[in-house]
Each structure stands twice: as structure tokens, then as C-alpha cells.
Structure 1
């Protein structure tokens, strides 16, 4: 099973990863990070297929996919 790790403190909440996820399991959180943005996170880690589309789309390289 793949594990997606977001560096939430660096995430700007642009949402590109949200739209890139084919399983629709990436979403922006309700909480704010230290920079005042809503960081992205995985809503259902068990459903992640490890495609890394989210990491590929991230302009700030804050997403890591571990397989």
C-alpha cells in the first residue's frame, strides 16, 4: 500500500493535487497551516493507489509518495 506524505507547513493550498487524484481522496483541510493556507491531505489513505499524480502536479514539491 502506498503512503502519501504532505509537508503541510509548506503547502499553499493551491488545490492542483486535489484535481489530479483519480481516486478523489485528496482534499484541502479545514485547518490553517503556519502560513495561513488550508493544506492538502489524504482523506482515505487505504484507497490510495500510489500513482503519484498529486506529487507530480504540486508546484512546490511538498508531496512525497512512499511505496
Structure 2
């Protein structure tokens, strides 16, 4: 049986750090950057545990600004 591997890409310049995606992620893949800010002065989210992402798209669905793109790949 093949396994699905996920990956996310965050548009850091559009992210306002609301952290809704952090709460929605069942695998704890996403976290707020501790000392990084974007050009607007917001702390943004980043994938800190990317290897466990299953591509469930929960983060992208709850993002109010559409900053997250989810990719899914079938692995054997």
C-alpha cells in the first residue's frame, strides 16, 4: 500500500501570524517563527517538522489569507 507524503509552502510575506494553521495541524508540522518577521513586521509560520506532513490540507483550509499551498505525493 502506498503512503501519501505532504509538503507545505508558506507565502511568508502575506502571512500575518494568526496561527490558526498551527492549531489546525494534526501533525504539529507548523509553528510561528520565533525571531523572524516579514516586511510588514508580523511573525510568520513555517514548517518545523516537515517530514511528518501527510498533506491533509487542514492548514490551508483555515488560513484566512490563503498563504499556504499544500503538495501531496504518493510514495511506495
TM over 0.5: yes
Query: Following superposition, which runs of at least 4 residues in structure 1 exceed 2 angstroms of deviation?
Result: none
User: Mind listing any 5+ residue stretches in structure 1 that lack a counterpart?
Assistant: none
Q: Greater strand share, 1 or 2?
A: 2
2:28/2:49 contact within 8 Å kept: no
* CA root-mean-square deviation: 0.7
Residue 63 (structure 1) aligned with residue 56 (structure 2): no
What is the TM-score of this pair, normalised by structure 2?
0.85
Q: How big is the shift at 1:65?
A: 0.2
Which runs of 5 or more residues in structure 2 are unaligned? none
> TM-score normalized by structure 1?
0.95
Please tell me whether Structure 1 or Structure 2 has the larger radius of gyration of its CA atoms: 2
